[in-house]
C-alpha cells in the first residue's frame, strides 16, 4: 500500500510544451504519477493498482471523563484515531473480487464496510484545483450580509430579548454569535456557557471570548 501524501498538492501542473503556447496546459492527479512510477519499478510483471480510501473509527473511548485532567486524556487518545478500526473502505469498483477479499481480511472488515467507487477519491481536493493561467476563472467571493435585526442593536442580549433570532450561515455574518459570546463572557449575570464547537481556528475572537469567560470564573462546557 502506498499512501498519497496528505500535505502535498493533489494535482501536478506540467511545464508548458512551448513558450509560445500559453493556452495549453497539462494537469494530472498525483495518483497517476505514483501509478506510473510503480509500473516502472517492475515492468516485467503484469501489475494493477487501485485506489482505496479508509475511514477509521474516530471515537476517543475515554473511560472516565469526570475525573483527572480531561484535556490530557484527549491529547493521549487523539493519535489513536489514525490507527483505529476501519469502518468504511471506499475502493475502485474495478478491483478484482479475489483482491477485495484479501483487502477485507487485511483490514478486518466485512462486505458491509466496503463501498464501490470510482478510480479517484477525495473529490474535495478539486477545491484547490490549480489555475496555471493569469485568467480569473473563479466566481467573485460574496461577503456575508448583516443580520437585518441584530445589526441594529449594540447588545445581543437586547436583540434576543425582543424575539428569537434566526441566523442563516454562511450567507449572513457570524458576527452576532461572536458578539453574544463576548458579551456573555463579561456579563456578571451569566454563570454558565454551553456550546458545541467544530473545527475552530487556532486564533480567533471566539476562542478569546471563551478564555475570557473562564478567567471570569464562568462555568463552561464546550464540545468540539
| 214 contacts 220 by C-beta, under 8 angstroms | yes
Regarding whether 161 and 115 lie in a shared domain, the answer is no
Please check whether residue 137 lies inside any domain of the structure: no
Count how many domains the chain has: 2
With H, G, I as helix, E, B as strand and everything else as coil, classify residue 185: helix
Q: Which three cell numbers stand for residue 12?
A: 501536478
Please check whether residue 144 lies inside any domain of the structure: no
Please check whether residue 5 lies inside any domain of the structure: no
Task: Give the model's pLDDT for residue 149.
Answer: 93
Residue written as grid cell 473502505: 89
Please report, rounded to a whole number, the percentage of residues in the chain having pLDDT higher than 90: 47
Regarding whether 119 and 175 lie in a shared domain, the answer is no
Average pLDDT, the chain: 85
Dump pLDDT digits (tens) for 57-99.
766 666 666 666 767 767 766 666 566 678 889 999 999 999 9
Dump pLDDT digits (tens) for 134-154.
788 778 888 999 999 999 999
Domain of residue 182 covers 150-223
> What CA–CA distance (Å, rounded) separates 22 from 184?
56
Taking the C-alpha atoms of 59, 64, 68 and 70 in order, what is their torsion angle to the nearest 10 degrees?
A: 20
Regarding whether 103 and 28 lie in a shared domain, the answer is yes
Regarding whether 116 and 171 lie in a shared domain, the answer is no
> What CA–CA distance (Å, rounded) separates 140 from 125?
20
Closest CA to 192 of 220, 215, 155, 156: 220
Dump pLDDT digits (tens) for 104-117.
999 888 889 999 99
Amino acid at each position: 500500500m502506498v499512501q498519497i501524501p496528505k500535505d502535498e498538492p493533489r494535482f501536478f501542473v506540467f511545464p508548458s510544451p512551448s513558450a509560445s503556447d500559453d493556452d495549453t496546459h497539462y494537469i494530472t492527479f498525483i495518483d497517476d504519477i505514483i501509478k506510473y512510477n510503480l509500473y516502472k519499478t517492475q515492468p516485467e510483471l503484469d501489475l494493477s493498482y487501485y485506489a482505496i480510501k479508509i475511514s477509521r473509527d474516530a471515537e476517543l473511548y475515554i473511560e472516565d471523563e469526570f475525573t483527572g485532567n480531561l484535556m490530557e486524556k484527549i491529547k493521549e487518545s487523539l493519535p489513536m484515531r489514525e490507527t483505529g478500526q476501519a469502518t468504511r473502505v471506499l475502493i475502485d469498483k474495478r478491483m478484482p473480487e479475489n483482491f477485495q477479499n484479501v483487502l477485507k481480511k487485511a483490514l478486518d472488515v466485512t462486505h458491509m464496510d466496503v463501498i464501490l467507487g470510482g478510480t479517484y477519491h477525495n473529490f474535495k481536493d478539486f477545491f484547490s484545483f490549480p489555475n496555471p493561467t493569469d485568467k480569473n476563472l473563479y466566481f467573485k467571493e460574496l461577503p456575508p450580509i448583516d443580520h437585518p435585526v441584530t445589526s441594529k442593536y449594540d447588545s445581543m442580549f437586547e436583540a434576543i430579548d425582543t424575539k428569537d433570532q434566526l441566523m442563516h450561515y454562511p450567507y449572513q455574518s457570524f458576527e452576532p454569535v461572536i458578539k453574544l459570546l463576548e458579551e456573555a463572557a463579561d456579563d456578571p449575570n451569566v454563570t454558565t456557557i454551553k456550546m458545541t464547537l467544530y473545527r475552530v481556528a487556532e486564533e480567533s475572537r471566539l476562542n478569546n471570548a471563551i478564555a475570557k469567560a473562564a478567567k471570569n470564573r464562568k462555568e463552561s462546557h464546550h464540545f468540539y
